[in-house]
Amino acid sequence: MVGGGQLARMTHEAGIPLGIRFKLLSDTPQDSAAQVVSDVVIGDYRDLETLRAFAQGCDVVTFDHEHVPAEHLRALEADGVVIRPGVEALLHAQDKGVMRERLRAAGVPCPRHRIVTDPTDVARFAEEGHGFPVVLKTVRGGYDGKGVWVVRDAADAADPFRAGVPVLAEEMVDFSRELAANVVRSPHGQAVAYPVVESIQVDGVCDTVIAPAPGLSGELSAQAQELALRIASELGVVGHLAVELFETRDGRLLVNELAMRPHNSGHWSQDGAVTSQFANHVRAVLDLPLGDPRPRATWTVMTNVLGGDFPDMYGAYLHCMARDPGLKIHMYGKDVKPGRKVGHVNTYGDDLADVRERGRHAADYLRGTITE
């Protein structure tokens, strides 16, 4: 796997019971996955020769992030390296402009959008459509809300153009909530769909994921799953695909974003599904039969643990574990910095309010924002 973040750490963990030999390309030995994988190459994923040397002896190469340059992926594929998902699919997770155009052509409902060239063009986009506010996004390099701006007029629209990356303008969607439809597809074309989840963002960062999305009608849930399966098949995705969706106030679904790797909206599945997203990603990229995605509990809630002002989170384990023996803690071994995702907790049970409260309490206690 290329990339040493927490997704690689948890993918490696899922491969252990299957006896999978896992090799990692990581920026530094301190990265989350590099701390736990024995076969680590330290190097720069932006360098083709590093990638070539790394890929030697790998049956298949997969990714913890979407930032490996497409021309390098093409060169590796030309060398005969098996890359999953392949570059033609990955392009749509690398570039929001490419993704929007492809989905539009496939008839997939998306927010109204177009590439804009400067602040005056943003004003034109607003006039042509829904007016301000307009959402601006750099087409590449964004994550956790970085690279996304909500602008109220043209004078407010200069910042996104400073990076020198194309800028995508989108209508500001009046959504009632955000959902994610997670599916996994294998090279054979087998696919499985996880229950559709609700994802709650705070300051552009995922905070809580509820599986399944409370109160979602059977009809919308099936629509979301079908949409995700169709996108996976049309784009030729292999591995885990997260389709982030907006549920609009008038009951429609619009696609926001695609991720072709394990995703934060699927972390609940580690403790809440028969087969986790990580285990199914491993199976898919190795072209093994996929595992059952069905839930094991009525409700599973994933609550992200963000870094707070206290560098030592482990001191909080005593209280959290004693208070809630059913709590599942997943920490990434990352240095604690304020606002940084350093772990998550999963809780599950039959009473959603209780399951949410237990997750919230543990995340806040680990972060140090509450003390009892």
Task: Determine, following the binding rule CB under 6 A, whether residue 43 of this chain makes contact with ligand ADP.
Answer: no
> Residues 94-113 vs ligand ADP: string with x where CB under 6 A?
-----------------x--
Task: Determine, following the binding rule CB under 6 A, whether residue 172 of this chain makes contact with ligand ADP.
Answer: yes
In the bound state with ligand ADP, the residue whose beta carbon lies nearer, of 175 and 317, is 175
Angle of CA points 273, 87, 167, to nearest 5°: 95
In the bound state with ligand ADP, the residue whose beta carbon lies nearer, of 34 and 134, is 134
- Smallest distance from ligand ADP to CB 133, Å: 9
Q: What are phi and psi of 114, to 5 degrees?
A: -165, 160
In the bound state with ligand ADP, the residue whose beta carbon lies nearer, of 88 and 144, is 144
Please give the size of the binding site for ligand ADP, defined by CB under 6 A.
19
Interacting residue with ligand ADP among 137, 185, 356, 367 (CB under 6 A): 137
**Contact positions with ligand ADP (CB under 6 A) in 46-105:** none
Interacting residue with ligand ADP among 142, 166, 291, 349 (CB under 6 A): 142
In the bound state with ligand ADP, the residue whose beta carbon lies nearer, of 203 and 219, is 203
Q: What are phi and psi of 181, to 5 degrees?
A: -110, 115
Helix (H, G, I), strand (E, B), or coil: what is residue 137? Answer: strand
Within 10 angstroms of residue 130's Cβ, the number of other Cβ atoms is 16
- Smallest distance from ligand ADP to CB 199, Å: 8
Alpha-carbon torsion, ordered 15, 13, 231, 52, to 10 deg? -70
**Contact positions with ligand ADP (CB under 6 A) in 246-285:** 256-257
CA-derived radius of gyration, the chain: 20
- Smallest distance from ligand ADP to CB 256, Å: 5
Interacting residue with ligand ADP among 204, 311, 315, 339 (CB under 6 A): 204
**Backbone CA torsion sign across 253, 259, 260, 263:** negative
Helix (H, G, I), strand (E, B), or coil: what is residue 223? Answer: helix
Whether 348 contacts 301, CB under 8 Å: yes
Within 10 angstroms of residue 82's Cβ, the number of other Cβ atoms is 18
